[in-house]
DNA sequence: CAAATTTATGAAAACGGTTGCATTTATTTA
DNA sequence: TAAATAAATGCAACCGTTTTCATAAATTTG
């Protein structure tokens, strides 16, 4: 079998406790002994067993990443790899590993989280999404388990939960205002699943902007699309089929891709006849044709910050919850124009 | 502290071994006792500690996923999320977890793998890439550690390694032949980092196809691009600047996106003046303009198969190595036309 | 120089499970 | 009905660490 701490102890002619102390760089070890032990470790090519370690000091050096139940489908959304890239970069600095959830229904995800927590499989958790009526947050708070939410918590005392978010109301307002400045008055909004908090917030911003400009809010101009194939296309057709169709559209970048393709089929020119602005600014958004105007929400940074916040919490568990708002930026490219 | 097997044992008035057996569904337990134990488990909301378990039966129920050292950058490539999606789907069926590597240099990745193996942190490993002169494969074979390679192994006895791959030589040949059938004779090839096996194989196929058609192989038509930003664009400019520039181009889809954008700047029309075919057929490839013709390599299935193969190996460690070739398919869209 | 400290190390008890073997009890066999 | 067998359960060792506490050796103090 593999070489254990006992083998090293024997080889170095010391007790296992001494080896353990050398490993931990304890000060109470004579240089001479330390040298001998280290030599034995090298000679035998010893590596401490991770599970034994975790068991003994009740810490795993790994972080659980919880994806939406639709992970199956949501990995198709560039948001997740990008945010994980940020998390990974930060986790790597402190030598933490990443453990991925794989559940495919809400129920399964809940069970998985429960396992991670109660089996002590991870030291902390990052929730990569936030939904209305989420069960996970109350559960984790109840258990007092260290976690960070990516998004805004829809709970009674949001100030008690650690989270990283964009100011989504403001992004919603910003894109809408940008379009009204371009003289658009009929502005359509295509949104994804309606129980996502981010969706709610963006819509809120959209409404605020319209009200400030004294423009009417037409419910026909707000469409939710299903997360399945062609959802974006269907939503687009729906929204453009109302009596006075919008002259401008707001949607998530992936939907914008769908729209841009459909628009070509229909012979509608962008931006001459229809202005479009997207949310999220994925790496590929720049490669659309025309290159799309989009709100950059700094996905990578969202990942970095949530990992950093979780480390902060782990290092000092009893402090008050902290929050971080990651800045956004409107990236103007070629999918919008002033209404004639 | 958390509730342990001991608490359950006391509550059910049995020994811990009995609880353990109930957990394992051992046959030698009376229905009456099993019922009582299960009730106690429920009442106390007991979940076995994962590390204690791993330690005792030397199995972790988790699979290590090794990304290229450039994981930092490579998560920007849709290939990885998609292959992980496949792996995750399959792993989930058997209740296995996924552990992600985060190393950012070859050296770090190597250390990480070493840790996973020798600390027994995972039961098996999937290598998500294969390089020339890779150190990982010899190491894992030496250790006789269960792993599956995604790609073709460049080692002395490939039949001894478990792997899942496409027939990349054939895909290279196929796209080239497709273009020659469209009467193209000057066909450019843009490749990514040259130490990737897949790159080598595709080029091989390209060469074979040209030879069969009695077309000359012009080294000016073969360009490698760096993995950094704008790499694709630079490579495109380079390849189009030779005396008789290609009338058709072959590249990975992400590069094609770059090319399509550059092409617009330069006023070159696709497919009228330049035909392009891509490798990989990412979900977004269809959304390019024009929608790109691409070789679908079934990335999701690559993930599924590699996980399945690894399970096969774990369940029966002493059998001969197995391999799987995942089929490909040329998806014709609108980026190619017959040369006039 | 003996007593009091300090320093370095070891023995053993956790951590929370699994499992081989022994033991008790219930059932079958002759 | 006693002996043999099978079924159900418990005891205790083990997985590979960390860590508390005790102890021996070295050093300082009065």
pLDDT at B230 over 70: no
Residue B207 is predicted with a pLDDT of 97
Beta-sheet strand order (sheet of A222-224)? A222-224, A187-191, A248-252, A275-280, A293-296, A329-331
Say if residue B10 is exposed, middle or buried (CB neighbours under 10 Å; 0-12, 13-18, 19+). middle
Chain A interface includes B215 (CB < 8 A) = no
Among B129, B159, B127, B166, smallest CA distance to B326 is for B166
Distance from CA of B317 to the nearest CA of A (A): 16
pLDDT at B20 over 70: yes
Among B187, B168, B167, smallest CA distance to B177 is for B187
Q: How many residues does chain B have?
A: 340
Contact B136, B110 (CB under 8 A): yes
Among protein residues, the one whose C-alpha sits closest to the C1' atom of C12 is A17
B-chain residues within 8 Å CB-CB of A78? 78, 81
Contact B182, B247 (CB under 8 A): no
In total, the C-beta contacts within 8 angstroms joining chain A to chain B are: 148
Distance, in Å, from the CA atom of A110 to the CA atom of B96, rounded to the nearest integer, reads 16
B-chain residues within 8 Å CB-CB of A69? none
Beta-bridge partner residues of A310 = none
Best of B89, B97, B264 to disrupt the A interface by mutation (most A CBs within 10 Å)?
Answer: B97
Judge if the beta carbon of A21 is closer than 7 A to nucleic acid strand D. Answer: yes
Judge if the beta carbon of B5 is closer than 7 A to nucleic acid strand C. Answer: yes
pLDDT at B103 over 90: no
Examine residue A261 and state whether it is found in any structural domain, yes or no. yes
Domain that holds residue A237: 168-297
Residues B130 and B203 in one domain: no
Residues B228 and B266 in one domain: yes
Distance from CA of A210 to the nearest CA of B (A): 31
A-chain residues within 8 Å CB-CB of B276? none
B-chain residues within 8 Å CB-CB of A45? 118
Judged by CB atoms within 8 Å, which residues 142-201 of B form the interface with A? none
Residues A292 and A180 in one domain: yes
Residue B2 is predicted with a pLDDT of 82
Residues B131 and B211 in one domain: no
Examine residue A73 and state whether it is found in any structural domain, yes or no. yes
Chain A interface includes B56 (CB < 8 A) = no
Helix extents (H) in chain A:
5-12, 16-23, 31-44, 50-57, 71-74, 79-93, 106-118, 136-143, 168-181, 197-212, 231-240, 253-266, 299-315
Picking from B97, B119, B291, the nearest residue to A49 by CB comes out as B119
Nucleotides of D under 7 A from a protein CB: 7-12, 14-20
Residues A155 and A304 in one domain: yes
Distance, in Å, from the CA atom of A174 to the CA atom of A179, rounded to the nearest integer, reads 9
Residues B305 and B161 in one domain: yes
Chain A interface includes B93 (CB < 8 A) = no
Give, in order, the Cα–Cα distances in Å from B310 to each of A177, A200, A228, B143: 53, 43, 30, 16
Residues A37 and A137 in one domain: no
Q: What is the mean pLDDT of residues B38-48?
A: 93
Nucleotides of C under 7 A from a protein CB: 7-12, 14-20
Residue B115 is predicted with a pLDDT of 86
Q: What is the mean pLDDT of residues B50-63?
A: 93
Residue B86 is predicted with a pLDDT of 94
Distance, in Å, from the CA atom of B290 to the CA atom of B283, rounded to the nearest integer, reads 14
Chain A interface includes B70 (CB < 8 A) = no
pLDDT at B34 over 60: yes
CATH of the domain at A16: 1.10.260.40
Whether omega before A230 lies within 30 degrees of 0, making that bond cis, reads no
Residue B70 is predicted with a pLDDT of 60
pLDDT at B41 over 60: yes
> Are B100 and A114 a contacting pair at CB < 8 A?
no
Strands B124-127 and B147-150: parallel
Q: Name the helix (H) or strand (E) containing B271.
A: none
Rounded (5°) CA angle B169-B170-B175: 105
> Are B78 and A78 a contacting pair at CB < 8 A?
yes
Contact B152, B197 (CB under 8 A): yes
Helix and strand counts by DSSP (H, E) for chain A: 13, 12
CATH of the domain at B134: 3.40.50.2300
Sole residue written with tokens 């009442």 = B43
- Give chain B's mean pLDDT: 91
Judge if the beta carbon of B51 is closer than 7 A to nucleic acid strand D. Answer: no
Examine residue A56 and state whether it is found in any structural domain, yes or no. no
Residue B74 is predicted with a pLDDT of 64
Strands B163-166 and B97-100: unpaired
Residues B176 and B151 in one domain: no
Judged by CB atoms within 8 Å, which residues 252-271 of B form the interface with A? 257-258, 260-261, 264
Examine residue A338 and state whether it is found in any structural domain, yes or no. no
Examine residue A142 and state whether it is found in any structural domain, yes or no. yes
B-chain residues within 8 Å CB-CB of A291? 261
* Lowest-confidence segment of A140-149, B201-210, B260-269 by average pLDDT: B260-269
Contact B190, B240 (CB under 8 A): no
Judged by CB atoms within 8 Å, which residues 26-55 of B form the interface with A? 45, 47-52, 54-55
CA A2 to chain CA mean position, Å: 39
| Per-residue pLDDT reduced to its tens digit, B157-194 | 999 999 999 999 999 999 999 999 999 999 999 998 76
Residues A256 and A305 in one domain: no
| Per-residue pLDDT reduced to its tens digit, B237-246 | 999 999 999 9
Q: What is the mean pLDDT of residues B320-330?
A: 98
Examine residue A109 and state whether it is found in any structural domain, yes or no. yes
A-chain residues within 8 Å CB-CB of B51? 51-52, 54-55, 60, 120-121
Examine residue A335 and state whether it is found in any structural domain, yes or no. no
Query: DSSP letter string over B315-334?
Result: HSTTSPP-EEEE--EEE--S
Beta-bridge partner residues of A124 = A63
Residues B173 and B292 in one domain: yes
Among A296, A302, A282, smallest CA distance to A89 is for A302
Tell me the angle at which helices A79-93 and B79-93 cross, rounded to the nearest 10 degrees: 90
Among B246, B204, B203, smallest CA distance to B224 is for B203
Judge if the beta carbon of A57 is closer than 7 A to nucleic acid strand D. Answer: yes
Domain C-terminal end among A297, A316, A335: A297
pLDDT in 10s for each residue of chain A, 340 residues: 689 999 999 999 999 999 999 998 876 788 889 999 999 999 999 999 999 999 999 999 999 999 887 655 667 788 998 999 999 999 999 999 999 988 888 888 898 898 899 889 999 999 999 888 888 999 999 999 999 999 999 999 999 999 999 999 999 999 999 999 999 999 999 998 767 899 999 999 999 999 999 999 999 999 988 765 666 888 999 999 999 999 999 999 989 988 998 898 899 999 999 999 999 999 889 888 889 999 999 999 999 999 999 999 999 988 999 999 999 999 999 999 998 8
The 10 Å CB-count burial string (b at 16+, else e) for A218-230 is eeebbbebeeeee
A-chain residues within 8 Å CB-CB of B108? 92
Residues B116 and B185 in one domain: no
Q: What is the mean pLDDT of residues B224-241?
A: 81
Q: Closest nt to A53 (CA→C1')?
A: D17
Distance from CA of A217 to the nearest CA of B (A): 31
Domain count, chain A: 3
Strands A293-296 and A329-331: antiparallel
Judge if the beta carbon of A33 is closer than 7 A to nucleic acid strand C. Answer: yes
Residues B182 and B292 in one domain: yes
Chain A interface includes B97 (CB < 8 A) = yes
Residue B245 neighbours by CB under 8 Å, 6+ apart: B186, B188, B239
| Per-residue pLDDT reduced to its tens digit, B304-314 | 999 999 999 99
Residue B227 is predicted with a pLDDT of 63
Examine residue B230 and state whether it is found in any structural domain, yes or no. yes
Best of B78, B121, B139 to disrupt the A interface by mutation (most A CBs within 10 Å)?
Answer: B121
């Amino acid at each position: 079998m593999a070489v254990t701490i006992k083998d090293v102890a024997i080889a170095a002619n010391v007790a296992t406790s001494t080896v353990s102390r050398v490993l931990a760089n304890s000060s109470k070890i004579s240089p001479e002994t330390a040298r001998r032990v280290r030599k034995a470790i090298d000679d035998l090519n010893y590596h401490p067993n991770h599970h034994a370690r975790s068991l003994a000091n009740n810490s795993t050096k790994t972080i659980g990443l919880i994806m939406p139940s639709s992970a199956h489908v949501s990995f198709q959304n560039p948001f997740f790899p990008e945010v994980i890239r940020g998390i990974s970069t930060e986790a790597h600095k402190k030598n933490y590993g990443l453990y991925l959830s794989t559940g495919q229904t809400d129920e399964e995800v809940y069970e998985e989280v429960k396992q991670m927590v109660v089996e002590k499989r991870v030291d902390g958790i990052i929730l990569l999404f936030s939904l209305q009526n989420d069960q996970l947050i109350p559960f984790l708070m109840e258990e007092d388990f260290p976690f960070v939410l990516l998004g805004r918590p829809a709970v009674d005392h949001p100030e008690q939960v650690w989270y990283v978010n964009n100011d989504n109301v403001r992004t919603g307002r910003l894109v809408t205002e940008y379009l009204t400045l371009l003289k658009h008055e009929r502005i359509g909004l295509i949104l994804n699943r309606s129980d996502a908090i981010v969706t709610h917030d963006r819509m809120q911003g959209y409404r605020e902007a319209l009200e400030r400009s004294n423009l009417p809010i037409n419910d026909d101009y707000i469409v939710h699309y299903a997360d399945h194939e062609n959802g974006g296309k269907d939503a687009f057709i729906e929204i453009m089929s109302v009596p006075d169709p919008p002259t401008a559209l707001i949607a998530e970048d992936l939907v914008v891709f769908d729209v841009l393709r459909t628009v070509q089929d229909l012979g509608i020119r962008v931006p001459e006849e229809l202005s479009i602005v997207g949310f999220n600014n994925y790496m590929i958004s720049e490669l659309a044709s025309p290159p799309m105007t989009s709100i950059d929400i700094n996905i990578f940074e969202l990942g970095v910050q949530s990992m950093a916040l979780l480390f902060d919490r782990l290092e000092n568990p009893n402090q008050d919850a902290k929050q971080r708002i990651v800045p956004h930026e409107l990236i103007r490219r070629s999918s919008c124009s002033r209404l004639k």
